[in-house]
Amino acid sequence: MDAAEALFKPAKKKLEPAVERPALPNTKELVSLKIDSDVLAFFQEDGAGWQDRINDVLRAAMKNRV
* Entry field: residues in the chain: 66
Residues 34-51 pLDDT 10s: 999 999 999 999 999 999
Summarize pLDDT for 3-29 with one digit per residue, the tens: 777 777 666 777 778 777 777 777 888
Convert 25-43 to b/e letters by CB count within 10 Å (16 or more is b).
eeeeeeeeeeeeeeeeeeb
Packing angle between helix 37-44 and helix 50-63, nearest 10 degrees? 110
d(CA 26, CA 58): 15
The answer for residues whose C-beta is within 8 angstroms of residue 55's C-beta and 6 or more apart is 28
